[in-house]
Structure 1
Amino acid sequence: MTRAWVRPAMIALPAVLVVGCAVAGPWVAPHPVDEGVDIPYAEPSAAAPLGTDHLGQDVLSHLLVGGWGLLLLAAVIAVLVTGLAAVIGTVAALRPRVGAVIERCTDALMLLPPVLAILLVMLSWPSSGAAGLVTIAVLVGTPYCARVFAAAASGIAATGYVEVAVANGEGLPYLVLREVLPNLRSTLTTQLGLRFVEAMYLVSTAAFLQLPATLGQSNWALMVRENSAGILLNPWSVVAPSLAIGILAVSMNFTISAIRSDRNQVRT
């Protein structure tokens, strides 16, 4: 079992480093994000190892400070989506009639693209801020994930120990929380990682469009937007935040694939 986690852990190392830098960044940033250190789009120097941005501020400091808000929102969305979807999917597997109603509702919600839903809500209700972004992301992200959990829970719902619990008169909350969900740990882990990657893309898109005002004036997506005009003068002002988002997403995807592959090998 220990060896089975070695390869996923090595693949996840880049994502762990990015997250670690984002978490510790506000305390180790060499300059305040609003402090000018050189001319706009200056090349890397001792004062600014990654050069400066369009306002002459240190790109490295913005990079270290700008990831925390995005990661926190993405993590909140991923946990909420995975938790709600796990419960909804399990209920759908245990109660077929309820599952039919849930399936119709999820069909309707899945027709609305997440980015379009975020645009409609955030533009019509700009004061909603990060709370509105999280709410919409959870509403549009839960239906598909619930389908996955319903499919995974359907086999467990038909097992003997669940039937015994039903015969003993156990209620639905007991069946969901004590009998089915503990046996969906693999699905929970996989879906949590996938939902985090999806949430990171959604939050980055919203930040790039400057939709949630509560994300602040410094984040990776906003760095790409504001410094794109000077990419030829100082490429690091755009490349560095883009790499941070890309490395995090790609490393997470590869880690999830490695975990799936290793588990399948163990089973066979």
Structure 2
Amino acid sequence: MTAAAPSATRRPSRRARATALVVPAGLLLLALAGPIVAPHTIDTPVTAPFAAPGNGASLGGDQLGRDVLSRVLHGGTLLTAGALLVAVVTTLAAALIGCVAVLRPLLGRAVERSADIAILLPPLLGIMLIALAWPGGGRWAVIAAAVVLGVPYAVRVVAAAASPLATAGFVEAALARGESTTYIALREILPNLRSTILTLFGLRFVEAVYVISMAGFLQIGPQPPASDWSLMVRENASGILLNPWAVLAPSLAIALLAVTVNLVTLSLAPDTTAKAVTRA
């Protein structure tokens, strides 16, 4: 007896998924192109310190009377670019190393051990260590720390997803033909991990946003008077009762950026749910 899968478990149609991407894509574009539409420069006082919204400042003023909206629109470009760089480098490295690791047991064990050590190391401690070892590295030191801390765990995720494929028939056939490890990893295994790679990219981006934001809040990376969302939260915390938007606006921007990219990657991930009927 066969039974069709319940319609409630079906993924949305391509048109519905494309429509759902409009808002997240718009928010991501605004984070990258914000400086173009900002009404004021980031360092020009336009109102009184911690002034309420109004009088040419839609979200009020910060601790120096600068326009909060303009600084929010300027503050997401470098954060988004840095998080994208971390996510791309981490995901590519994890995809390549993870697929090779399942074909080379010795490398696989080394990856597993390094991932165990990296998971135990607090991200903040790793950032501080790399920042101290790279004086003047600024934002690049934070990006390097995020990559170094993220690659071992990401490799382990890819290796776990690729492990069942290492014994698949098409891989064994490629081995019998005498294909190289690199060929099998890139041409036989990696194309079957599209959903895992896209999901991993989204998770690494979200992680990078929070790691870079945490470093910025601790002033490891961007320094005043730079316009950075996490730095804005730190600088304006003392005036949150006078103008809450000086703290809430950059905080919400960080959360929206992380959620937006995560929704985009989930929408673009291939459908790997079982479409076949169940047999009884």
- TM norm structure 1: 0.90
**Cα deviation 1:73-127 (Å, max 9, x = unaligned):** 0000001111111111111111122211222222222221112100222145331
1:1-268 matches, within 5 Å, as 3-6=12-15, 8-9=17-18, 12-213=21-222, 217-253=226-262, 263-264=272-273, 266=275
Rate the CA distance shift 1:256–1:7 in 2: closer, same or farther, 3 A.
farther
- Give the CA deviation at 1:159: 1.2
Letter in 1 for 2:234: R
Contact 1:126 1:212 in 2 (8 A): no
For 1:32, what is the secondary structure of its paired residue?
A: coil
Q: Deviations over 1:15-41 (max 9, x none)?
A: 323322122211111111111111101
Displacement of 1:162 in angstroms is: 1.1
Determine the C-alpha separation between the residues in 1 that align with 2:218 and 2:12: 43
C-alpha contact (below 8 Å) 1:126/1:211 kept by paired residues: no
- 1:221-266 deviation line (CA, Å, top 9, x unaligned): 1111111111111111111111111122234445556677964265
What is the alpha-carbon distance in structure 1 between the residues aligned to residue 16 and residue 257 of structure 2? 17
Structure-2 separation of matches of 1:6 and 1:78 = 27
Q: Give the aligned length.
A: 268
Sort the Cα spacing of 1:62 and 1:257 in 2 relative to 1 into closer, same or farther, 3 A.
Answer: same
> Which segment drifts farther, 209-218 or 61-70?
209-218
Q: Name the larger-Rg structure.
A: 2
Show structure 1 runs of 5+ residues with no match.
none
Q: State the 1:57 CA deviation.
A: 0.5
CA contact (8 A) 2:194 2:270 kept: no
| Larger helix fraction of residues | 1
Distance 1:153 1:32 in 2: 49
**Superposition deviation, residue 4 in structure 1:** 3.5
Amino acid of the structure 1 residue aligned with 2:201: L
Does the Cα contact within 8 Å between 1:69 and 1:215 map onto a contact in 2? no
User: CA contact under 8 A between 1:9 and 1:255: conserved in structure 2?
Assistant: no
Q: Distance in 2 between matches of 1:59 and 1:156?
A: 51
- Residues 41-65 of structure 1: CA distance to partner in whole angstroms, max 9, x if unpaired? 1111141111110000101100100
Contact 1:4 1:262 in 2 (8 A): no
| 1:185-208 deviations in Å (ceiling 9; x for gaps) | 111110001100000000101111
Q: CA RMSD for the aligned pairs?
A: 2.5
Residues 124/71 of structure 1: CA separation in 2 closer, same or farther (3 Å cut):
same
Do the aligned residues in 2 keep the contact of 1:156 with 1:162 (CA within 8 Å)?
yes
SS of the equivalent of 1:94 reads coil
Q: Work out whether residues 123 and 211 of structure 1, in 8 Å CA contact, stay in contact via their aligned partners in 2.
A: no
One-letter code of the match for 1:209? L
Counterpart-to-counterpart distance in 1, 2:65 and 2:20: 36
User: In the aligned structure 2, how far is the partner of 1:46 from the partner of 1:267?
Assistant: 61
Does structure 2 retain, via aligned residues, the 8 Å contact 1:93–1:153? Answer: yes
The 3 A distance-change label for structure 1 pair 162 and 215 is farther
Give the counterpart letter for 1:200 in structure 2. Answer: V
- Which shows bigger deviation, 50-59 or 172-181? 172-181
Unaligned runs of 5+ residues in structure 2 are 1-9
Identity of aligned residues (%): 48
